[in-house]
């Protein structure tokens, strides 16, 4: 299996197609296989690369918990590009991967052409931040203690039942893949990334300064992520926002045709040079703020 190496850790990757590169970044519950629908469709016009984060199937799972973290995840993504001699790429991420896509746009602007951040922002709310962090640590501890991931239970969560209702076969594939993940590595990822990364609300100045084109995508039933995505849309002159109706968190699985169409349309406009940032005359008249109780 092909691997890139990042700080001594092997990262499994797969690629298909040719042209301008797209690097796919998976969610916590996913891995490199999560992007199969997108790889099949978008590799007709782009060079598509998908990889598993450290701790996920095909990649090494370091025992040292200090080997996990958001900054490390950022560097791992860049290491994959370096291994493939790719100077600049589009990045497309979901959830944990969507957060990383935004991080790359902030910290590695010279390596990013455009970013798609889907379902990014869980745990961002300042009002609910403390409860989110406590629950994250508790979930990680349960996972580590049990030595397994309750994939069936996670798949029936309030932002994932939408996939079960729409596509039971796709839901089963997703759940079975999640159940294969290393519980100890997943617990470390949950503590160090989900529990260690800053809220997107705390990155206001950095997000406002992003110059790369950004497509934010969200399901209208993905409650933990709705408000922060509206905040980012109002904040970032380079951001567009796509809301998928009747959809939860894993929108690339729930609505693959619509997801692929919108990503293809966005990246195509960027590559053609026809993408435009928001007209200043359309900017909000008051500063964006966190929404909610």
Q: What ranges make up the beta strands (E) of the chain?
A: 3-6, 9-16, 21-25, 47-51, 89-94, 112-118, 214-219, 239-244
Residue 293: per-residue pLDDT:
46
Q: Which residues of the chain fall below pLDDT 70?
A: 291-293
Residue 201: per-residue pLDDT:
96
Residue 10's CB: how many other CB atoms inside 10 A?
Answer: 16
Q: Which are the contacts of 228, defined by CB distance < 8 A and separation ≥ 6?
A: 120, 121, 124, 125, 200, 201, 290
User: Are 136 and 190 in contact, with CB atoms under 8 Å apart?
Assistant: yes
Pairwise CA distance, residues 237 & 144, whole Å = 42
User: Are 213 and 266 in contact, with CB atoms under 8 Å apart?
Assistant: yes
Residue 287: per-residue pLDDT:
74
Both tokens assigned to 112: 């990013």
Pairwise CA distance, residues 238 & 273, whole Å = 14
What is the per-residue pLDDT across 7-58, written as a single tens digit (0 to 9) for each? 999 999 999 999 999 999 999 999 999 999 999 999 999 999 999 999 999 9
Residue 235: per-residue pLDDT:
95
Residue 291: per-residue pLDDT:
67
Q: Is the full-model pTM beyond 0.85? A: yes
Supply φ then ψ for residue 152, to 5 degrees.
-60, -45
Residue 20: per-residue pLDDT:
98
User: Are 185 and 110 in contact, with CB atoms under 8 Å apart?
Assistant: no
Torsion of CA 271, 108, 110, 96, to 10 degrees: -10
Residue 286: per-residue pLDDT:
75
What is the per-residue pLDDT across 31-41, written as a single tens digit (0 to 9) for each? 999 999 999 99
DSSP state string for 82-138: HHTT-S-EEEEEETHHHHHHHHHHHH-GGGEEEEEEES--TT--STTHHHHHHHHHH
């Amino acid at each position: 299996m092909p691997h890139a190496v990042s700080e001594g850790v092997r990262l499994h990757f797969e690629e298909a197609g040719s042209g301008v590169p797209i690097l796919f970044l998976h969610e916590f519950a996913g891995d490199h296989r999560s992007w199969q629908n997108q790889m099949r469709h978008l590799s007709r016009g782009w060079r598509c690369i998908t990889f598993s984060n450290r701790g996920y199937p095909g990649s090494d799972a370091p025992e040292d918990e200090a080997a996990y973290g958001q900054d490390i995840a950022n560097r791992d993504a860049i290491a994959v590009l370096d291994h493939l001699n790719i100077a600049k790429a589009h990045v497309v991420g979901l959830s944990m991967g969507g957060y990383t896509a935004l991080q790359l746009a902030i910290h590695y602007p010279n390596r990013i052409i455009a970013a798609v951040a889907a379902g990014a922002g869980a745990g961002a709310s300042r009002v609910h931040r403390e409860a989110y962090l406590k629950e994250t640590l508790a979930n990680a501890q349960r996972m580590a203690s049990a030595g397994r991931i309750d994939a069936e239970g996670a798949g029936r969560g309030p932002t994932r039942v939408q996939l079960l209702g729409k596509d039971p076969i796709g839901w089963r594939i997703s759940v079975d893949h999640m159940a294969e993940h290393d519980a100890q590595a997943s617990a470390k990822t949950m503590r160090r990334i989900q529990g260690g990364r800053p809220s997107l609300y705390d990155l206001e100045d950095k997000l406002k300064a992003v110059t790369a084109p950004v497509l934010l995508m969200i399901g209208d039933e993905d409650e933990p992520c709705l408000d922060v995505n509206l905040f980012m849309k109002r904040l970032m002159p380079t951001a567009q926002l796509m809301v998928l109706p009747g959809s939860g968190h894993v929108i690339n699985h729930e609505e693959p045709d619509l997801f692929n169409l919108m990503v293809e349309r966005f990246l195509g406009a960027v590559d053609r040079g026809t993408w435009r940032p928001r007209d200043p005359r359309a900017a909000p008249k008051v500063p964006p703020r966190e929404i909610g109780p």
